[in-house]
Homo-oligomer: A and B are copies of this chain.
Amino acid sequence: MLNFSYYNPARIVFGAGTIKEVGVLASAYGKKVLFHYGGGSIKKNGVYDQVIHSLKESGLEIIELPGAVPNPRLALVKEGIEVCKREKIDFILAVGGGSAIDSAKAISFGAKLRDGEDIWEDYYMRGDYNIREAIPLGVVLTIPAAGSESSTGSVITDWDKNLKRAVNSETIIPKFAIMDPETNYSLPAYQTGCGISDILAHLFERYFTTEKHNDLSDRLLESAMRNIIAYGPLALKHPSDYRYRAEIMWTGTIAHNNLLDQGRVGDWASHDIEHEISGIYDLAHGAGLSIVFPAWMKYVYKKHIDRFVQFATRVWDVDLTYDDKETMVEVAIEKLENFYKSIGMPIRLSDVNIGDENIRQMAENAFLGRTKLGSFETFNADDVEKILRLAL
């Protein structure tokens, strides 16, 4: 187990009817709120009205910035930064899923950069940034998936360059996250499936580590995996059942608040490879992950057979004879693929009509702005190409 320092001061306010608390929570940080959200969905499901009502009731001044989209855009971030500076915003409220939150996080620290600093070149495209300061940020989460509501991360796409990159810092952990599972009832099945896939991926990235003797984290991760595997299909079958939506939503936070990966280094190669796919094709992140993970597992498992046998037995209940470990793991990967199918996710690039036309390009793009990819197993562009070909 590696030494670690863990700190997560996000307040989680969870449950039916909790959105009405947003005004009181936000008013601790000032008077002028940038209300950042996506498109029409929060207007259709009533969340927009609830938020506006609560903010006004607390006497807050609201500046709206709609337009956050999946794979959030650098251009909108830059617009938000200008609004914050011009309007002297005290607090940013992101309402939606990972896209709105990640975009809001970028705005929150982008508005505090020094003159001459560029948020994209000096932060997202570098490894050695240090985010010193940010406008305080809160969240009303309506799509469980990214885990960004209490995470250190923000992922942004520069569509001029087809590049998707992340930053991480304690400074941009939201001050609070309001999570009402009832807001998920109206999510389309595909979006629910993508969220489930993303949550599972966050657990996988932390689970596949070369660090030994960190069994508590292993067990907690396995538990969270089992929970999402059990309740994901039920949430899809019964979209307005509070119990199942609540299980998914809370697991999504636990999967990514970093508590479950202390004392180890996660992998994140599959995330980075997926970012190259959705950076070109604008595929939903969760749908890209269900394509990449089985291919990644097939590419790496033989070198890490014991870890994959643990995964097969503890997560997938594979109890074939241990003297044929490779078969055990292959059965587990097949179970994973069947799980993805059961939640309506693609498992091959061909399932989403992507061929091999950009494979080399994606493999090479993955190394722009970074020199290595992966930790559990470290790759060069040829490896990434091979993994993408396994996913065809």
Contact = CB atoms under 8 A, between A and B. Distances in A.
A14 B5 contact: yes
B9 A15 contact: no
Interface string A242-273: 11001100110010000100110000000000
B226 A219 contact: yes
Contact of A262 (B8, B14, B213, B231): B14
Contacts of A215: 227, 230-231, 247
A212 to B, nearest CB: 8
B12 A7 contact: yes
A228 B8 CA distance: 24
Interface residues of A, number: 40
Contacts of A230: 215
B14 A3 contact: yes
Interface string A1-44: 11111111111111111100000000000000000000000000
A5 B242 CA distance: 18
A6 B12 contact: yes
A14 B5 CA distance: 6
Interface string A326-354: 00000000000000000000000000000
Contacts of A13: 4-5
Contacts of A259: 254, 259
Interface in A159-211: none
Contact of A216 (B5, B7, B251): B251
A109 B1 CA distance: 35
A70 to B, nearest CB: 26
20 contacts: A1-B15, A1-B243, A1-B247, A1-B250, A3-B15, A3-B18, A7-B10, A12-B262, A213-B246, A215-B231, A215-B247, A216-B227, A216-B250, A216-B254, A219-B227, A220-B254, A223-B223, A250-B262, A250-B263, A254-B259
